[in-house]
């Protein structure tokens, strides 16, 4: 379903184009900050006049290099992120002046200690509970980051600049939400793999306004296609909601298999998908509002993490999902353990079929995964009254 529409093709080519755009911007004196996680308060980076880029590793290629240092049993996302840095094969890492990291899961936290030996790295101490005391503390961490950015880049982060950044990023979230909401239509006008490509590639854009405009155009084009009844799927295609660990291009195996076997991934609850579209809400104290938005992220490293259960329940209803797949990377304890609670919660509320998949970035278990996913789609089919 490639070359569906003009806007899609443009976005599909973004990653290469942006590596060059980033170099040009750097030559003109712009600073670049690499982030690894949804907890990174990007508003502060933008307000400092720097360009935020996502460095989260989604490719298996640098993993063998990383395993010379990191344990093999570690989560592939951490190994991939570290491997890119170690081999200096990611242009976006290469051009970063500063890395921004947070104390999320144990594996990432300790990996960042090693990363800090390669490039300047600012570590934010992220509380793992979402209450008022934690928020007070998190506001202080945001202030510490402001100081770091101001000192490193010789700039002043004024309240006006901060307000401008909030507006811009909320606008970006609005456009990303509108795009994903198009998939609420049955059948979805775009495959999950194509949506993932868009969500992944836009993480490398240098000019956010341009990217927002492009996403909005894609949303319009997809809406028109859908109005004309164009879709790679039919009304009966099982609609899957994907939750769990972050996925991107390079680690899209499960998304690809679901769609090859006759399903449609209609919603990504994970980091780069719907979790990301939650905006900064207006308040009297802008910095606190920003802090609140980020502390709310329903990631499994929070304890408890009831926000994820509520978000999932809401998305299953809104996206009319026929089944939920909880993707967990091997070695990711937080998502793996949390899977049990997610399953139970969904059984008690929306009662959709649920499947947990534990895998990594390699292709070695493709056959086993196929059986699992195909059987899961068969379960959905029979539940809807098809032949068993």
Partner 1 sequence: MVAAGIDIGSTGTKAVIFDGEIRASVVVPTGWDPKAAGLEAFRQALDCAGLAEGDVGSIVGTGYGRVSLPIFDRKVTEITCHARGAHFLYPETRSVIDIGGQDSKVISVDEQGRVAEFAMNDKCAAGTGRFLQVMAGVLDVSLEQLGQLAVGATPARISSMCAVFAESEVIGLLARGTDKGSIAAGIFHSIAGRIQGLAGKVTLSHRVTFSGGVALNRELCRAIGASLGVDMCVPQAPQMVGALGAAIMGFEA
Residue from the set 45, 123, 179, 301 that interacts with ligand SF4 by CB under 6 A? 301
Of the pair 115, 312, the CB lying nearest partner 1 is at 312
Residue from the set 104, 201, 205, 219 that interacts with ligand SF4 by CB under 6 A? 104
Of 299, 329, 303, nearest to 311 by C-alpha is: 299
Residue 274 near which of ligand SF4, partner 1, none (CB within 5-8 Å, type-dependent): none
> CB-side exposure of 91: number of CA atoms within 13 Å?
13
Q: Which residues pair with 326 in a beta bridge?
A: 243, 356
DSSP letter at 282 equals P
* C-alpha to C-alpha distance for 267 and 57, rounded to whole angstroms: 21
Residue 292 near residue 135, CB atoms below 8 Å: yes
Of the pair 189, 353, the CB lying nearest partner 1 is at 353
Query: Which token pair is 269?
Result: 């609850």
Footprint on residues 228-247 left by ligand SF4 (CB under 6 A): 245-246
Of the pair 130, 237, the CB lying nearest ligand SF4 is at 130
Shortest distance in whole angstroms from residue 103 CB to partner 1: 29
Residue 68 near which of partner 1, ligand SF4, none (CB within 5-8 Å, type-dependent): none
Stretch that binds ligand SF4, among 136-144, 283-291, 294-302, 309-317 (CB under 6 A): 294-302
Shortest distance in whole angstroms from residue 268 CB to ligand SF4: 12
Per CB under 6 A, 339 contacts ligand SF4:
no
Per CB under 6 A, 75 contacts ligand SF4:
yes
Shortest distance in whole angstroms from residue 126 CB to ligand SF4: 9
* C-alpha to C-alpha distance for 169 and 352, rounded to whole angstroms: 34
Shortest distance in whole angstroms from residue 271 CB to ligand SF4: 4
Order across the sheet with 323-329: list the strands.
Answer: 264-268, 239-244, 323-329, 354-359
* C-alpha to C-alpha distance for 192 and 327, rounded to whole angstroms: 15
Length of the chain: 388
Order across the sheet with 98-102: list the strands.
Answer: 51-54, 32-35, 98-102, 121-124
Query: Is cis: bond before 154, omega within 30 of 0?
Result: no
Q: Which residues bind partner 1 (CB under 8 A)?
A: 353-354, 358-359, 364-365, 367-368, 371-372, 374-375, 378-379, 382, 387-388
H or E element, residue 11? helix 6-12
Integer angstrom CA distances of residue 216 from 166, 190, 338? 19, 15, 35
Residue 337 near which of partner 1, ligand SF4, none (CB within 5-8 Å, type-dependent): none
Of the pair 65, 299, the CB lying nearest ligand SF4 is at 299
Residue 308 near which of partner 1, ligand SF4, none (CB within 5-8 Å, type-dependent): none
Where on the chain is the footprint of ligand SF4 (CB under 6 A)?
37-39, 75, 77-78, 104-105, 107-108, 245-246, 271, 297, 299, 301, 329, 332, 334-335
């Amino acid at each position: 379903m490639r070359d569906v529409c003009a806007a899609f093709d443009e976005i599909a080519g973004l990653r290469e184009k942006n590596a060059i755009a980033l170099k040009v911007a750097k030559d003109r004196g712009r600073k670049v900050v690499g982030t690894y996680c949804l907890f990174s308060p990007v508003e502060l980076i933008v307000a400092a006049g720097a360009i935020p880029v996502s460095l989260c590793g989604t490719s298996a290629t640098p993993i063998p290099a990383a395993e010379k240092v990191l344990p093999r049993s570690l989560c592939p996302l951490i190994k991939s992120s570290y491997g890119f840095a170690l081999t200096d094969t990611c242009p976006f890492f290469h051009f970063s002046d500063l890395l921004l990291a947070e104390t999320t899961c144990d594996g990432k936290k300790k990996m960042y200690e090693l990363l800090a030996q390669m490039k300047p790295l600012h570590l934010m101490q992220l509380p793992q509970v979402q209450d008022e005391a934690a928020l007070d503390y998190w506001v202080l961490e945001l202030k510490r980051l402001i100081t770091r950015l101001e000192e490193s880049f010789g700039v002043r982060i004024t309240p006006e600049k901060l307000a401008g950044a909030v507006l811009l990023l909320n606008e970006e979230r609005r456009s990303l939400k509108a795009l994903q909401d198009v998939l609420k239509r049955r059948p979805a006008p775009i495959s999950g793999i194509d949506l993932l490509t868009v969500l992944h590639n836009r993480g490398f854009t240098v000019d956010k306004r341009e990217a927002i405009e492009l996403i909005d155009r894609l949303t319009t084009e997809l809406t028109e296609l859908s109005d004309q009844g164009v879709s790679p799927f039919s009304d009966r295609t099982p609609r899957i909601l994907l939750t769990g660990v972050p996925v991107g291009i390079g680690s899209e195996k499960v998304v690809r298999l679901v769609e090859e076997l006759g399903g449609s991934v209609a919603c990504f609850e994970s980091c780069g998908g719907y979790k990301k579209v939650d905006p900064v809400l207006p308040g009297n104290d802008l910095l606190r509002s920003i802090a609140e938005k980020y502390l709310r992220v329903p990631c499994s490293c929070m304890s408890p993490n009831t926000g994820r259960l509520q978000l999932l329940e809401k998305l299953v209803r809104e996206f009319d999902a026929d089944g939920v797949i909880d993707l967990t990377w091997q070695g990711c304890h937080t998502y793996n353990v949390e899977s049990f609670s997610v399953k139970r919660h969904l059984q008690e509320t929306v009662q959709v079929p649920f499947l947990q998949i534990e895998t990594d970035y390699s292709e070695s278990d493709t056959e086993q995964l196929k059986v699992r996913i195909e059987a899961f789609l068969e379960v959905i089919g029979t539940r809807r009254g098809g032949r068993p």
